[in-house]
């Protein structure tokens, strides 16, 4: 079974979101997602300043097996993108919850993670 980080919130489409102490939200894909994709070879990230709507495609990851959209778990404005992934997309495979984060958002709402699955619910969903 894939590792599920208890401090994160999740989407059914396997993205994770972490509320930071400054109120921003960091986004990445779960261990389950990166395992299913296999070795990642390319990542396309959203541009800083772009406004994203919850549930819409925000980024793309490509592996030796397939390409997959990455959806924004919340609505907000992109304030940072992990550009190191351009040269090392495999970082997501080795550290999806740490150095493999994808982008950071300034959320539109005061309670940005409301409605996302907690770790126990997500773990049950991916079995």
End-to-end CA, the chain: 7
In the chain, the domains with their CATH numbers are 9-108 (2.40.50.100)
In this predicted structure, the answer to whether residue 2 has a pLDDT above a threshold of 90 is: no
Greater confidence, 2 or 18?
Answer: 18
> Residue 36 burial (CB < 10 Å; 0-12/13-18/19+)?
middle
| pLDDT score, position 19 | 97
Greater confidence, 52 or 2?
Answer: 52
Assess contact for 97 and 28: CB atoms under 8 A.
Answer: yes
| pLDDT score, position 120 | 95
- pLDDT, tens only, 49-82: 999 999 999 999 999 989 999 999 999 999 999 9
pTM, two decimal places: 0.95
In this predicted structure, the answer to whether residue 35 has a pLDDT above a threshold of 70 is: yes
In this predicted structure, the answer to whether residue 83 has a pLDDT above a threshold of 90 is: yes
Classify 91 as helix, strand or coil.
helix
| pLDDT score, position 82 | 98
In this predicted structure, the answer to whether residue 1 has a pLDDT above a threshold of 90 is: no
């Amino acid at each position: 079974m894939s590792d599920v980080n208890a401090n994160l919130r999740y989407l059914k489409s396997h993205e994770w979101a972490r509320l930071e102490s400054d109120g921003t939200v960091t986004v990445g894909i779960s261990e389950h997602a990166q395992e299913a994709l296999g070795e990642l070879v390319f990542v396309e990230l959203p541009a800083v300043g772009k406004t994203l709507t919850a549930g819409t495609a925000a980024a793309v990851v490509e592996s030796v097996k397939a390409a997959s959209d990455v959806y924004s778990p919340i609505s907000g404005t992109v304030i940072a993108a992990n550009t190191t992934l351009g040269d090392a997309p495999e970082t997501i495979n080795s550290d999806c919850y740490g150095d493999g984060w994808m982008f950071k958002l300034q959320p539109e709402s005061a309670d940005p993670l409301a409605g996302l699955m907690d770790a126990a619910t997500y773990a049950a969903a991916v079995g």
